[in-house]
Amino acid sequence: MSIQLKDYEPVVGAAVMQELFVLAERVQGRRLQNINSTPVGGGVAEILTRMIPLLRELGVDATWDVIKGDQAFFNVTKAFHNALHGKREEITEQMFDIFRETTEANLREMAFSGDVTLIHDPQPAGLVLRKGAAGGRWIWRCHIDVSAPDPRVWEFLRPYVEQHDAAIFSMPDFAQQLPIPQYMVAPSIDPLSDKNKDLDADYVSTVLAKYGLNPGRPILTQISRFDRLKDPLGVIEAYRMVKKRHDCQLVLAGGGAPDDPEGMDVLGEVNERAASDPDIHILDLPPFSDLEINALVRGSTVVLQKSTKEGFGLTVSEALWKKKPVIGGAVGGIKLQIINGVTGFLVHSPEGAAKRLAELLSDPESCRRLGENGYLHVKQNFLMTRHVKDYMLVMLALDSPNEDIVHLN
């Protein structure tokens, strides 16, 4: 049975729902066209899959389109993605040409119908060239950490970004010098989706057994696309250090995304590093493995998200919601979700991760306390109802861009 708005009330409370209904009245019937670069894989697709039906039920005419690109284009945008995160990448003029050509091809094919057009991330940013003809308000919704971008890529992107009517970043650290209004909206998880809903203990046991995991021994888990910025090799290193003193099993579960061409290479590196350790379980999961991912996290003792760069990292909130202690890299949006020592631990190295893992493996009470705190933190800040509310507020704010205050009556 499909999830409906009323199903959220027992989770978030009547007051939160009431707020949504009040705002929804103000944006009834508006067309909100979302455009990104992949229908599956990664956090943006994860959010849109759940948010579009919710917005529609609230009366916003929300739609979702995906740009087309070939392998060359996605190689370019992945290099841009890494470079915007501050990683050194070889950037050439030809790459800019490929970006422009694919933008032109998409402009020829796509129809624009939004009162508000929400462009997610750099890949479709060039579509703003159609803003004049298409009309409406255009927002660049940036999900990545652009606090210290490679200047060549940022200066290429900036003229596109500046043609939007506003930009949305996930946290204040990512704000840029721009001549357009900037809003801060943190991402969110859907507590009722297959990825996050409560599961029977039997189902969790079945999934652990399916992947050869022993529920009687500690399980450390990282769920991530196989991406170097998620530092899967660092996770293996931390596991090896802690394994010297504590029995444990490691799960690295991930899958690909069509707009991420590096996944297979990284998976190869991870397999090689894991060698033949029977306690390292590398799971290359197909898209839509949400129930199994949910079960793997619920069956885990500690969850890791040891990224070296991160826009937000939905996987952190997904684990905190399940009351798991989380060890995360002290970067980007992970710092919004993990309050060090309260909802988890922030680390800067494999050694740091190993130290915290060892502490948690010998202290179940700390695990429980961090998990409880984490659950409350997510409930208050990172559920989709808050995210939907924020988007409706931004739509209203754009009605009167020269005023600081949104009028609700």
Interacting residues toward ligand UDP by CB under 6 A: 42-43, 46, 195, 223-225, 253-255, 285, 289, 293, 312-315, 318
How many CA atoms are closer than 13 Å to the CA of 155, on its beta-carbon side? 5
Nearer to ligand UDP, 110 or 251 (CB): 251
Report which of 216, 239, 273 is spatially closest to residue 358, judged by C-alpha positions. 239
In the complex, minimum distance from the CB of residue 398 to ligand UDP, in angstroms, rounded to a whole number: 25
Residue 402, token pair as written in the block: 């020269």
Kindly write down the DSSP assignment for every residue of 82-111, as one continuous string: HHHTT------HHHHHHHHHHHHHHHHH--
Contact 266, 364 (CB under 8 A): no
Total length of the chain:
409
Which residue type does 101 have? Answer: E
Contact 46, 195 (CB under 8 A): yes
Nearer to ligand UDP, 312 or 345 (CB): 312
Nearer to ligand UDP, 125 or 223 (CB): 223
Nearer to ligand UDP, 219 or 395 (CB): 219
Nearer to ligand UDP, 195 or 298 (CB): 195
Nearer to ligand UDP, 283 or 394 (CB): 283
Query: Crossing angle, helix 14-27 and helix 384-399, to 10 degrees?
Result: 30
In the complex, minimum distance from the CB of residue 257 to ligand UDP, in angstroms, rounded to a whole number: 7
Q: Which whole-number Å values give the CA distances from 300 to 215, 217, 359, 367, in the listed order? A: 8, 10, 16, 11
In the complex, minimum distance from the CB of residue 242 to ligand UDP, in angstroms, rounded to a whole number: 23
Nearest-CB residue for ligand UDP:
43
Q: 3-state class of 220 per DSSP? A: strand
Chain position carrying tokens 């799960």: 251
Q: Taking the CB of residue 332, how many other CB atoms lie within 10 A of it?
A: 25
Nearer to ligand UDP, 280 or 398 (CB): 280
